[in-house]
């Protein structure tokens, strides 16, 4: 592989450039400029634009000659360079502003960094060089640093004093002046991958994301990536949502959207807009589908508008340009799956516009055109245009990620009516809308028989499911549970999910396959739950749907206070003080049939009160209250 070096010697720092060509040379130039912040790319051109921030060559005519300093041609073929140069001159570009130097290439032997932990700790120049190489070589994959990531992970397991040393070094590097905003964000993401992310780094992530310029779509994705990072409980800090709200507000102002609503129509208006992020998230569609179907039964017109504007691939392609999603271009199978959740006559809307601004503007224009009775906002912190539409339409907000706080604007905030809630800003107590739990019952796809998996009929099968169990299940919980299980061989722990369980495997190998079963991904959780007894929920954020299904299928629940997914569905009654009490409770249920049955009975009583009909009743009553309270459609 060849690495092409941007022509730094020909161009002064802080110049404004137009980059022509999006092949290997152009991509590498662009990534280098992202990493170093050396120049601002005001426009990126290519004959066949394949990214949201790449335009056709004629787009340069929209710029005045004073708005850029140079046009850099990033291609290898000399004959093509001359052709491009002539076409640019034809489009009005001064010849004196065209840089047509042949790209200088350096051969690379590896796609991955060989940066060591020792170099990370001691050699700032080496770290900086590797960060630049990351943008050039890796196409944005954070796994470029896998060598270092694995060395840090292993080192921290072997030496408990190493982790704070690595964290201090990361913060030092982030706060030093030599790095660009993008370099700082990559350093922080590297620490997340190495399981060294902490509260201070989360603060820095918010700060530096807010400082990004010239790539608003990327800023949007990073802001919402942070909500995913927040799921790691150890990095939560008190001002996260306040800081995010500030950055999102600035971001919305950056786009300068236009809001021109039709007059609100109150009488005989049975049209509802549901704003979602659901077309690419199965769990989100599972939540919204029963609500939409129930509204159709009641003769409402339902419009599902998906706000997700670009493919979210930042885990594999961090800090790189995003590409537009198009509902019309998805596979037939995927479209059929969407329609199973949202059957006709439910209306599906998805903008095909290319830029972030155009797509969000299209959503606002569509809402105005539909002119609904109300808006159900299920954008789950991905939305940022609610300050526009909530002024003119009753807006009911549904928290998915966090119960008590939000950066959205709304009139009512839906909460489960079984959950005591401490009201926190920016939500007022009079904005709360209690509603029953909404979970559509899912039938098992098949019957799981214990004998088929080597389990005895009198085994106590404890199950935990999730996509982040390697993070959600702490070493302390593993130590406590394994110590307890060693006293009762009938207790078996099934861990469902594709996550790596390095700590379990390295420290409790004797339990693997006998009392601990690393199940991997399972597409039929309800079926699996049919042969289990207890759902063990760790101190974590999320996991709500797997917990709800476990409750619906009659499992006992053991969960600590503060684990929000379980609290949402089960309330405080079944929650214990901490994980040590949870393990003690699990072991007591394993030997006390009466205690186990009592818990399972309590769970069944709770799930019997779950009702789609009552849930929708509560929502519509809340809408009517808002209409009267805010005088929508009045004089």
Going by C-alpha positions, the residue among 373, 367, 349, 397 that lies closest to residue 295 is: 373
Over residues 100-121, mean pLDDT: 80
Question: What pLDDT does residue 205 have?
Answer: 84
Higher-pLDDT residue of 620 and 11 is 620
Least confident of 1-10, 14-23, 457-466: 1-10
Which of the four pLDDT bands, split at 50, 70 and 90, describes residue 1?
A: low
Q: Which residues pair with 306 in a beta bridge?
A: 276
Whether the model clears a pTM of 0.75, i.e. scores above it, the answer is no
Over residues 101-113, mean pLDDT: 72
Higher-pLDDT residue of 407 and 283 is 283
Per-residue pLDDT at 496 exceeds 50? yes
What percent of the chain has a predicted confidence (pLDDT) above 90? 46
Question: What pLDDT does residue 22 have?
Answer: 87
Higher-pLDDT residue of 72 and 278 is 72
Question: What pLDDT does residue 48 have?
Answer: 85
For the 2-107 domain, the top CATH level (class) is alpha beta
Report how far apart, in Å, the C-alpha atoms of 245 and of each of 34, 399, 402 are: 25, 15, 14
Q: How open is the CA angle 78-80-81, to the nearest 5 degrees?
A: 65
What average pLDDT is seen over the chain? Answer: 85
Question: What pLDDT does residue 561 have?
Answer: 86
For the 450-608 domain, the top CATH level (class) is alpha beta
Mapped onto helix, strand or coil, the DSSP state of residue 510 is: helix
Which of the four pLDDT bands, split at 50, 70 and 90, describes residue 379?
A: confident
Q: Whose structure tokens read 């055109």? A: 369
Q: Whose structure tokens read 């592989």? A: 1
Chain centroid to Cα 630, Å, comes to: 34
Question: What pLDDT does residue 230 have?
Answer: 55
Question: What pLDDT does residue 182 have?
Answer: 79
Q: What is the H or E stretch that residue 362 is in?
A: helix 356-370
Least confident of 207-211, 305-309, 385-389: 305-309
Structure tokens at 407: 């950066």
pLDDT digits (tens, 9 = 90+) for 549-593: 999 999 999 999 878 778 888 888 888 989 999 999 999 999 999
Question: What pLDDT does residue 331 have?
Answer: 66
CATH (residue range 271-438+614-630): 3.40.50.11380
Question: What pLDDT does residue 96 have?
Answer: 92
Over residues 429-435, mean pLDDT: 88
pLDDT digits (tens, 9 = 90+) for 453-476: 999 999 999 999 998 888 789 999
- Which phi and psi angles does 558 have, rounded to 5°? -125, 115
Q: How many CB atoms sit inside 10 A of residue 349's CB? A: 16
Asked, colleague to colleague, whether 271-438+614-630 and 450-608 share their fold, the answer is yes
Q: How many CB atoms sit inside 10 A of residue 219's CB? A: 21
Going by C-alpha positions, the residue among 522, 521, 493 that lies closest to residue 508 is: 493
pLDDT digits (tens, 9 = 90+) for 142-172: 778 989 999 999 999 889 899 999 999 999 9
What percent of the chain has a predicted confidence (pLDDT) above 70? 83
Contact 291, 440 (CB under 8 A): no
Q: How many CB atoms sit inside 10 A of residue 79's CB? A: 8
Least confident of 39-53, 362-376, 384-398, 446-460: 39-53
Structure tokens at 177: 């002046």
Report how far apart, in Å, the C-alpha atoms of 444 and of each of 2, 71, 308, 447, 529 are: 52, 60, 31, 7, 9
Residue 385: partners with Cβ closer than 8 Å, 6 or more residues away: 252, 257, 307, 360, 363, 364
Structure tokens at 298: 């009641």
User: What torsion do the CA atoms of 249, 254, 255, 261 make, to the nearest 10 degrees?
Assistant: 50
Structure tokens at 572: 């405080």
Which of the four pLDDT bands, split at 50, 70 and 90, describes residue 214?
A: low
Residue 86: partners with Cβ closer than 8 Å, 6 or more residues away: none
Least confident of 115-124, 252-261, 423-432: 423-432
Domain ranges of the chain: 2-107, 117-255, 271-438+614-630, 450-608
């Amino acid at each position: 592989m060849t690495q092409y070096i941007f022509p730094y010697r020909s161009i002064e720092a802080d110049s404004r450039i137009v980059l022509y060509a999006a092949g290997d040379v152009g991509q590498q130039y662009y990534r280098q400029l992202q990493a170093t912040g050396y120049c601002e790319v005001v426009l990126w051109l290519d004959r066949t634009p394949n990214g949201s921030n790449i335009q056709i060559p004629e787009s340069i005519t929209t710029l005045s000659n004073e708005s850029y300093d140079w046009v850099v041609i990033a291609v290898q073929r000399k004959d093509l360079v001359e052709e491009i140069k002539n076409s640019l001159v034809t489009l009005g570009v001064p010849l004196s502003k065209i840089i047509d130097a042949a790209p200088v290439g350096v051969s690379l032997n590896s796609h991955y960094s060989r940066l060591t932990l020792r170099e990370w700790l001691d050699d700032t120049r080496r770290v900086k060089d590797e960060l630049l190489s990351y943008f050039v070589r890796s196409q944005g994959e954070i796994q470029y640093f896998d060598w270092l990531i694995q060395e840090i992970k292993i080192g921290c397991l072997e030496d408990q004093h190493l982790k704070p040393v690595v964290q201090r070094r990361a913060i030092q590097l982030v706060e030093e002046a030599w790095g660009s905003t993008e370099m700082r964000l990559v350093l922080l993401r590297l620490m997340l991958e190495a399981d060294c992310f902490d509260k201070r780094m989360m603060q820095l992530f918010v700060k530096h994301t807010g400082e990004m310029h010239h790539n608003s779509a990327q800023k949007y994705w990073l802001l919402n990536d942070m909500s995913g990072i927040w799921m790691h409980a150890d990095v939560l800090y008190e001002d996260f949502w306040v800081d995010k709200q500030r950055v999102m507000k600035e971001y919305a102002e950056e786009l300068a959207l236009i809001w021109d609503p039709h007059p609100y129509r109150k009488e005989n208006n049975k049209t509802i807009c549901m704003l979602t992020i659901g077309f690419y998230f199965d769990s989100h569609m599972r939540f919204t589908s029963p609500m939409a179907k129930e509204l159709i039964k009641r003769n409402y017109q339902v419009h599902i508008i998906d706000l997700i504007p670009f493919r979210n691939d930042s885990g594999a392609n961090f800090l790189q340009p995003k590409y537009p999603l198009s509902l019309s271009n998805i596979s037939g199978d995927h479209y059929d799956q969407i329609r199973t959740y949202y059957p006709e006559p439910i209306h599906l809307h998805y903008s095909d516009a290319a830029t972030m601004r155009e797509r969000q503007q299209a959503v606002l224009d569509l809402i105005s055109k539909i002119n609904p009775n109300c808006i159900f906002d299920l954008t789950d912190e991905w939305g940022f245009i609610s300050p526009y539409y909530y002024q003119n339409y009753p807006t009911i907000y549904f928290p998915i990620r966090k119960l008590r706080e939000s950066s959205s604007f709304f009139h009512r905030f839906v909460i489960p009516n079984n959950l005591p809630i401490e009201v926190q800003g920016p939500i007022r107590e009079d904005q709360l809308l209690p509603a029953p739990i909404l979970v559509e019952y899912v039938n098992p796809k098949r019957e799981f028989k214990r004998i088929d998996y080597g389990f005895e009929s009198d085994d106590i099968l404890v199950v935990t499911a999730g996509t982040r169990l390697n993070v959600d299940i702490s070493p302390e919980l593993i130590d406590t549970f394994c110590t307890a299980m060693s006293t009762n061989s009938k207790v078996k722990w099934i861990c469902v999910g594709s996550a790596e369980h390095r700590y379990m495997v390295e420290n409790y190998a004797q339990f693997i396959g006998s009392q601990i079963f690393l199940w991997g991904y399972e597409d039929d959780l309800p079926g699996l739950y049919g042969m289990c007894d207890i759902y063990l929920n760790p101190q974590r954020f999320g996991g709500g749907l797997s917990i709800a299904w476990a409750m619906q299928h009659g499992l006992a629940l053991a969960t600590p206070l503060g684990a929000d997914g379980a609290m949402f569905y089960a309330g405080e009654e079944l929650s214990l003080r901490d994980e040590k009490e949870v393990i003690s409770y699990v072991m007591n249920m394993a030997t006390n049939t009466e205690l186990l049955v009592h818990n399972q009975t309590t769970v069944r009583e709770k799930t019997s009160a779950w009702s789609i009909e009552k849930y929708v009743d509560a929502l519509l009553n809340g809408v009517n209250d808002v209409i009267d309270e805010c005088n929508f459609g009045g004089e």
